[in-house]
Each structure stands twice: as C-alpha cells, then as structure tokens.
A and B are shown apart, each in its own frame.
Chain A
C-alpha cells in the first residue's frame, strides 16, 4: 500500500515536472509551478525558508521521501532501474554495500567549494534538479516540439488553430555534451545498482541523508519474525539493508522491502531496534549494457539533427534574402528583468533551462562561456523581450529571476540601446525610423541632424534614461547582418 502511494505520487511529480520542462506555452506553470519551487537546491538558492523548513521537517519525520517522490532525477533513476530489472528478468538484483562515506562527503565538500569559490554554474553540474533539466531540455524538448509541430501541421491542414508551430530548440554541442555526461552517468549507475548516484554523488542526497538518520519514522524489521532470508536486502535499490540494520542515511523510503518480506517482518513506522538480518551476498551479474546507453544517445542526437533541418526557412523565389543577424561583440551579458544583477543571476541560476523553454520570444539561450556555462542569457537576433510577458520570472524556481509584476518589469532597465551610425540605413539617405516606431517606452526619437534644415536626414536619438533594453529596436532594425542599433547589458539592473 505504502509502496503504491509512493509510486503514484512519484508518477505525478515526474509527469508534472517533465511537462513543466517541455511546455513552451507557459500555461501549465500556473498549475504545476509549485513542483519546481519545492526542489531542494533551487529553494536553497531562492532562500525560500518556508520550503526549506518544510523539506527538513518532511525528512525529519518521514525520512528521505523527497528522493523517492519529489526529486525528478531520483524518479528517473527508479524508472531506469526498474527497466533494468525487467530486462535482466530479476526481481531482486541488488546487494548490500556499506556507505561510501568518504566519497559522498568529498562530493558534498567539492560541491560546496565549487559553489562558494568557483561559480554556481559549475557546481550545479552535480546537482540533481538541474541535471534533470539539462537532460529534458537537450533530449526530450526537441522531440516534444517536433511532435507538436507535426500536430500543428495537421491542424493547419484542417484549418484548426488548436496547435501552433514553434521553433525547434536545437541545443548546441556543448549543451548536449553536458547533458549527456549527466545522463550517461545516471543511466549507467542506476542500471547497475539503483541509487548509487543518490547515495554517493548527489549533494542533496547527502545533506538529506544527514537529516534522515534521525527521522521519526522509518522502515523497521521485526526481529521476532525475521528468518534472515535476505530477500529485503536484494530488493533494496539503495543497498542499505544488510547485516544488522537499515542505513537510514541512504534509505529513500521507497517501501519496496516491505512487500518483499515473506515473513511480514518489515513495516514502516516509528523506528525501533532492528533485528540483525543475514546478508546474503548474491553476486549481481555485471551489466554489459553500456553500449545501449551510447546507442540511445546517438539515436537521440540524430533526432536533434533532423530537427535542425526542419527549422530552415523555406525560400520563395519572390522574396529577398534575409541575412542572419550576428551578435554584437560588445553586447556583454543581458539577463532577464528580475535578476537584479549579473552576479545575483550567476550565483542563483542552476541552469535548469525552464525559462529557456517557457520564453515565448525564444530570446533566452544557454551560455557557452565557462563562467556561466548553460545559464541562460538574452539574445535579440531573432526576437525581443515582450512588454507583456514575465514568464521567465514566473517559472524560475531558484529566485535567480525574481518575480516581478508587469509594471515593475516594464520599468526595469536590463540594458540600453546603442546606435551604430556606420550601419544605419538612414546614413545612406534612406528613411526608416523602425526602431523609434517600435520602442515601447518612447526612448528613441527620430530627429533631424540639423533642426534648421528641413531636408536634413533624421537619425534615431536614444534617451538612455527611458530605455529598458527590451531589444525591440534591435529586432526590427533592417540593417543586416550587423544591426545598426543594439542593446548592451547592464551588470546591475536599474529602475526608471
């Protein structure tokens, strides 16, 4: 029963979180957004005390149910491990092993060191929530969009507006590489040994493990009933039941062992003393399936490539070519309103890519630089930040992008427009003013170079004080490939 409840809750959380990462319309967020907000590390970065207290209390009462039900990467491992069991045809394939304490505390130490001294973006490579985010973003979201686009094609055919096409996200090689490392690591470890990742590498697992040692409730073995058959030990994916006790620091409260005991000796409740169980050392056959993980990775990256070919604009003979815009070298880094400053953003973002998927203008792109690797930043080559939208701060679970009202968002200056005289078509005597027409704050005005001469050309004059850096001017600027007006980021955001 308890196991069924665990599985149902886990399935709900997993589906919900997966949809959150895949949903590019941003509509699910209002319903499911809380699921990502109660993730441990994001809540820690967001300094969300309520959530942290809740998680600590939860663990102190129930043990590490967080790892079984709330953490998407934990559930992913359960799924992989379950598939592995199916494939190997063995229902009880694990074996007890003692805690690798040196290793797990070293990883925790490394994580804290990286976080404190190097940068959040490197530290989160170890963190489970963002690892799940990277995997979903790199491998699943292109597929999801592709399927959506196929549906949209069908809808278009029958004149329905139920689905609409959207840009297929094609992650760059380094993003795929980072996601693949996480995925292969998690896949291999869970395929072979269940929860090894959670109990040796995952910093959140280690922290919660420290707490769950003293949890009120836990899995108990009634020594009067136990006949020492060891089946529970072989059922335990955390490899934590053995010899004489349950290692509560590693037990993720999955309840698998309870039903496995033929003697009904195991139950979940207030912790009591355990009768020593006999550890049978059945050797788990060495999995030689690592090739499978490589194959599946190749298949997925192949699909990602196919997605890229689909995204190319169909050329029509009667249309002038449109050159791609190039990113201005001096742009700097632009982060969404609500991030306050680049420092705040880099320190808090776990690079889970939720905002990248949610952004309706598709202007958030994961960075390729080492100092903020995978953390999203804004590019205006193919879109601009809409006045009416604050999706990114709504979805951000870590507070890297803090929630802002639309009114506050539209008065936050995340950058400022810069005019490049040499590229502007008005300097060639052509009339334009598209930047001024599209400026939502009226920061750009077309003014005569010589007010006394009515025939003099009109150039865009930027009032930096009114510019919020939304990039509308850059997006609509006709000068290509180098935009004649572009936005340069503020390292600390300002308010009008």
Chain B
C-alpha cells in the first residue's frame, strides 16, 4: 500500500515533472485560460511522448438512425472532434472492438486515417470474452488493425481483466490455455504491438497475480480506473485506486487512467458539493477537479476521457493546457468531497453500456442514471413528510417516464442476470433495478407494500427492512434483535407507523415493534407468542412460517432473548434486560 508520505512525494515529483515538461507554464500563471501547450508525459518503455489528455472513444455521438453502412455513430461529428483534439495537442486515442456496438473502431479508423500515422498513438483491446478460442481472438486482433486502418498498434490491451464469476478461470481461458498471451508476446517482438498491457476491473487477486508476472511478461502499461472517489472509496467489489496505483508505481509501470470522471458522475455531484468545488476554483469546471486529480500523479501516462461533444473536449483541453497539478491541500479537500459522496445512495453506474442490449429490452444505464440524478438533485425522497416530498416525487416519476420509455423500465427486469457479468463496476444490476422499481411503486401508489419489503429482505439477504417514511426503504444486517433494539432505543420516532419485514420475529422483536408503534410486519419465521402479541396490539402480521419457539443459532436451545422475556407480561421491563444481554454479547 502506498502511504500518505509516498503519495505526497509522488505528488511533488509530479508537480516538478510537469513544470519542467511545460516550459511555458512558469510564465503562464493564468490556468483558467488554458492558453498554453498540452502537457505531455513520456513512456519510458517506448519513448512515446503522450498527451496527458487521451481520447476515450467509447462515448462518441450516435446518429438518430444508423447510416447506410450500419454505422450507428455520427462520423462527421467524430471527425470534427478528432481533428480538433489533434490540432490542440491530443495524440492518444483509445478504443475497443466492443465499443458503440462495434462501430467505435471503424469511426476512429476513419477519422485518424486522415492524419499522418506518426501524429497519433492508437490503442485498442482484445475483447474476446464470449468465445475465447485462439482463432477467434487472432481474428479479432487482425480485424482491429483493419478497422483502424493501421499495420501496427501502439497500445494493445487484454480487455477487462478481473471480471467474471471466477476471474482466474476466465483469465486462463481467455489468454493462457489457448496460448494467446504467447502469441501476443511474439507480436510485440515483431513490432506490430508496440506496447502490451491490460485493463483491470474487479478482483484484486488477479491484479496481484498479474503484478507477480511482471518480471516475466513485462507489462508496458496498465489501464486502471482512478479518480478521487475511487482513490480510497472504491465501490462494491472494485479495488481502491490508491492500492492499484501504488503497486504500478512501485514497479515503474506507466499508468493509463480510465473513468477519471466516473462516466460523468464526478461532474454531476449533489448541489452543495458542486458549490464547494466551484467556490474553491471559480474559473474551473467541476469536471476539471477530477482531471487535475488524475493528471497530477507522475506515473500517469495519459488520462482517458470519453468526450462526446465539443464542449467536453474544450473544457478538458483547458484543464490540461497545461495541467496545474493539485496541492496537498487540494487533495485533502477532494478526499473530503469523496467521503461526502458516500452519504448519497447513488449506484456506481458510469453509463458504459457494457450491460446492453438487455435481452428483454430494458434501458439499464438510463434507469440507473436517472436514479442517480434524482439522488444528487435531492429528488430521492426518504419520507413522505419531507417538505419537498411532492416535488421530489413528481420529479422522480415524470423524469423517469421522460428518460426511459415505459416498456424499458425497471419493472420489466426478469432477473435473468445476463448483465451482471458484463458490468465492470460489479453492480448487481437486477437487485438495483428491483430496488428502483419498488421505490417507484411505493411513491406512485402512495403506500408501502409488505410484499415489496419482503422481496427486499430476500434480495439483499438482509435481516431487517424498514420503511418508516412511506418512501425509501432502509435495510439492516445485524444479528438477532440488535437492529430493532438500536432503532427503538436510539431513534424511536423511526418505528412510529413503520412497515417492516424481519427474518425472524420472536417475542423479543415483537415487543420492540409494539412499544415503537409499528403498523405492519412481515416475518419469514414468527413465533406463536409473538404473533399473538402483535394481534392483540392491532399490528397486522404476515408470515411465511410459524413456530412455537424461536431457537438459538445451533438449534440446541431456546433463543436467549426469548428466554429473557418469555414469562414477562410487562413489555417495558424486558427492554433493559435485553439491552444488557446484547451489550454482554457485544452486539450493541
């Protein structure tokens, strides 16, 4: 792991490196104007002088209808963007055979072939996931060169290493067992691949394995997801960029950065974070913070940005011409922003569309993006009594129908799971879609359905799901009655009128529900005394199974909490007793 001191050291080196590499920068203190030259970095493996801004070719503008040859991309717009980028110092273009339904490589080839071959570096990937035979893979490799209209590739990547249910198995199947890696190494020797590397998403064990083979294979570069949110707070099963970068820097492997802006999520932040960023640098865009963050690391060769329109391109050119590296203070500030982002329940979708097309016609990225937008704009309501509840509800529902046609909305997800393996961010898409569907359902109909709570309980394998405000659900994963005890003692207002689903309801759990004023409950398993008690107190209870007694974990005896309250008729008296027990077990 890279520690803070080494990080600062790198930062310092980076600053120095950039300052020396851009001769004009010392005089030109007007960063905002971006009037200087594009900052560059040198790849010590090949001597390539690469622009710090790389063009990610995954998000080019599409046509309304595919062109005659089937091209879905707007070639004219692509040409304009590429020309403008080259004119302003960008010389690195990264694509892949799977981008834009296979048309990205074609469009990039068309655009770049109008420029001298020596004026750009082109990078593409071996996306041989579906049928990784040697034959298919080699065909894909040749087809890439053909489409890009080149006879050598500057940068070639094993695409998306670390994914799949069993990442080692998939990696071996794709590159080792079929002898493909050996073939590629030969191609590198022959000069048709000038730099060989891989792009990484997912399981850290495979990353470590790849690092361990560096001495033998010699990776010329590695493409990783790196930005100020992922630096210390990578989402889900992703790996913190701090670790990945540290490992690569240690081995002096040039780093190419992808998702510096998290598919735009770092420019579409919640309002108050946006104002903090703008206050600190009124001249720069919100996005410029993310680009300066990624570019400030000295081992970063280039930062890929999927610029889909001229405005994005110009903004990035401004940020990087030249790059004004971040100070330690700035980094601490961004780390603070990243920490605050965590408080928002956004879904880490970067709109890369790898999950598409969904066989059932859903528009997955549009659904997730709409959800994130609402969360960031404060239009995701937790409570029907919130002041802005009705406007938030309206914005969510109307915006949902606007961004996603009805038949492509989350309620049509069958849960087939084909998308899960495709997602580089490892989002459990069906679970998230169901969560959104239930939220839509709840706010649309204006009441909470026990069935929805029950499904949430099972989907996430939670121990308790609760809806107290009539809008968003809260999930808990604690042991036994610990969660409901904490809710009752720490935030009793939450239980008032709440609807909840619990895995197991014995008398212990039931008494907190009664004392707290819960309205309806569902339980996978309920004890007879608990059911009796709930009924007496007019709490509607649905359940899957009934039992006489709740047992402890190894089923050897009656559950200790049940023992405590078994013969006590004054419920209030049980509360401190159960509290003591939970404390003694360290559960609260």
Q: Which residues of A contact B (CB under 8 A)?
A: 156, 161, 164-165, 313-322, 382-383, 386-388, 425, 430-434, 437-440, 442, 475-476, 478
Q: Are B414 and A434 touching (Cβ within 8 A)?
A: yes
New contact pairs (15) apart from A322-B408, A434-B412, CB-CB < 8 Å: A164-B402, A165-B401, A313-B405, A320-B361, A322-B407, A387-B445, A388-B444, A425-B414, A431-B415, A431-B417, A433-B414, A433-B415, A434-B414, A438-B411, A440-B451
A431/B416 contact (C-beta < 8 A), A317-B72, A322-B407 known: yes
Is B22 close to A, CB under 8 A?
A: no
Q: Are A434 and B413 touching (Cβ within 8 A)?
A: yes
Q: Are B402 and A156 touching (Cβ within 8 A)?
A: yes
A430 is contacted by which of B101, B414, B455 (Cβ under 8 Å)? B414
Closest Cβ–Cβ distance, residue A387 to chain B (whole Å): 6
A432/B412 contact (C-beta < 8 A), A320-B358, A322-B361, A382-B406 known: no
A319/B361 contact (C-beta < 8 A), A388-B447, A478-B414 known: yes
Expressed in whole angstroms, the Cα–Cα distance for A476 and B408 within the complex equals 10
Give chain A residues whose Cβ lies under 8 Å from the Cβ of B357.
318-320
Task: Give residues of chain B (495-522) contacting chain A, Cβ–Cβ below 8 Å.
Answer: none
Closest Cβ–Cβ distance, residue A95 to chain B (whole Å): 55
Q: Are A432 and B415 touching (Cβ within 8 A)?
A: yes
Is B178 close to A, CB under 8 A?
A: no
Q: Are A386 and B361 touching (Cβ within 8 A)?
A: no
**Top 3 closest pairs, chain A to chain B, by CB:** A388-B445, A317-B72, A322-B361
B416 is contacted by which of A319, A383, A430 (Cβ under 8 Å)? A430
Is B538 close to A, CB under 8 A?
A: no
Expressed in whole angstroms, the Cα–Cα distance for A432 and B430 within the complex equals 11
Q: Are A164 and B401 touching (Cβ within 8 A)?
A: yes
Q: Are A437 and B455 touching (Cβ within 8 A)?
A: yes
Is B190 close to A, CB under 8 A?
A: no
Closest Cβ–Cβ distance, residue A483 to chain B (whole Å): 12
Q: Are B455 and A386 touching (Cβ within 8 A)?
A: no
Is B395 close to A, CB under 8 A?
A: yes
Q: Are B101 and A318 touching (Cβ within 8 A)?
A: yes
What residue of chain A has the Cβ atom nearest to residue B438's Cβ?
Answer: A437
Give chain B residues whose Cβ lies under 8 Å from the Cβ of A315.
65
27 contacts between A and B (CB under 8 A): A161-B395, A164-B398, A164-B401, A165-B401, A313-B405, A317-B66, A317-B72, A317-B101, A318-B101, A319-B357, A319-B361, A320-B359, A321-B361, A322-B361, A383-B406, A386-B444, A387-B445, A388-B446, A430-B414, A431-B415, A432-B416, A433-B414, A437-B434, A440-B451, A442-B451, A478-B360, A478-B412
- The DSSP consensus for interface residues of chain A is loop
Give chain B residues whose Cβ lies under 8 Å from the Cβ of A386.
444-445
What residue of chain A has the Cβ atom nearest to residue B418's Cβ?
Answer: A430
A318 is contacted by which of B65, B356, B398, B434 (Cβ under 8 Å)? B356
What residue of chain A has the Cβ atom nearest to residue B407's Cβ?
Answer: A322
Give chain B residues whose Cβ lies under 8 Å from the Cβ of A165.
401-402
Closest Cβ–Cβ distance, residue A273 to chain B (whole Å): 63
Is B62 close to A, CB under 8 A?
A: yes
- The interface centre, meaning the residue of B401, B414, B415 with most chain A CB atoms within 10 A of its CB, is B414
Expressed in whole angstroms, the Cα–Cα distance for A432 and B434 within the complex equals 13
Expressed in whole angstroms, the Cα–Cα distance for A194 and B434 within the complex equals 60
Give chain B residues whose Cβ lies under 8 Å from the Cβ of A387.
445
A320/B449 contact (C-beta < 8 A), A434-B415, A478-B412 known: no
Q: Are A318 and B353 touching (Cβ within 8 A)?
A: yes
Is B172 close to A, CB under 8 A?
A: no
Q: Are A319 and B356 touching (Cβ within 8 A)?
A: yes
Give chain B residues whose Cβ lies under 8 Å from the Cβ of A382.
406-407
Give chain A residues whose Cβ lies under 8 Å from the Cβ of B64.
314
What residue of chain A has the Cβ atom nearest to residue B434's Cβ?
Answer: A437
Q: Are B405 and A161 touching (Cβ within 8 A)?
A: no
Is B399 close to A, CB under 8 A?
A: yes
Closest Cβ–Cβ distance, residue A160 to chain B (whole Å): 9
Task: Give residues of chain B (334-391) contacting chain A, Cβ–Cβ below 8 Å.
Answer: 353, 356-361, 363, 391
Expressed in whole angstroms, the Cα–Cα distance for A383 and B401 within the complex equals 13
Closest Cβ–Cβ distance, residue A140 to chain B (whole Å): 24
A440/B414 contact (C-beta < 8 A), A164-B401, A317-B66 known: no
Expressed in whole angstroms, the Cα–Cα distance for A440 and B452 within the complex equals 9
Give chain A residues whose Cβ lies under 8 Å from the Cβ of B416.
430-432
Give chain B residues whose Cβ lies under 8 Å from the Cβ of A437.
434, 455
Give chain B residues whose Cβ lies under 8 Å from the Cβ of A164.
398, 401-402
What residue of chain B has the Cβ atom nearest to residue A438's Cβ?
Answer: B411
Expressed in whole angstroms, the Cα–Cα distance for A476 and B414 within the complex equals 9
Expressed in whole angstroms, the Cα–Cα distance for A478 and B66 within the complex equals 27
Expressed in whole angstroms, the Cα–Cα distance for A439 and B455 within the complex equals 12
Give chain A residues whose Cβ lies under 8 Å from the Cβ of B406.
382-383
Expressed in whole angstroms, the Cα–Cα distance for A438 and B414 within the complex equals 11
Give chain A residues whose Cβ lies under 8 Å from the Cβ of B412.
434, 476, 478
Give chain A residues whose Cβ lies under 8 Å from the Cβ of B451.
439-440, 442
Expressed in whole angstroms, the Cα–Cα distance for A389 and B451 within the complex equals 19
A161 is contacted by which of B62, B360, B391, B407 (Cβ under 8 Å)? B391
What residue of chain B has the Cβ atom nearest to residue A164's Cβ?
Answer: B398
Is B394 close to A, CB under 8 A?
A: yes
Expressed in whole angstroms, the Cα–Cα distance for A6 and B391 within the complex equals 41
Q: Are A319 and B414 touching (Cβ within 8 A)?
A: no
Give chain B residues whose Cβ lies under 8 Å from the Cβ of A432.
414-416
Closest Cβ–Cβ distance, residue A335 to chain B (whole Å): 22
What residue of chain A has the Cβ atom nearest to residue B356's Cβ?
Answer: A318
Give chain A residues whose Cβ lies under 8 Å from the Cβ of B358.
319-320
Closest Cβ–Cβ distance, residue B413 to chain A (whole Å): 7
Give chain B residues whose Cβ lies under 8 Å from the Cβ of A317.
62, 66, 72, 101
A319 is contacted by which of B65, B408, B417, B445 (Cβ under 8 Å)? B408
Expressed in whole angstroms, the Cα–Cα distance for A28 and B210 within the complex equals 66
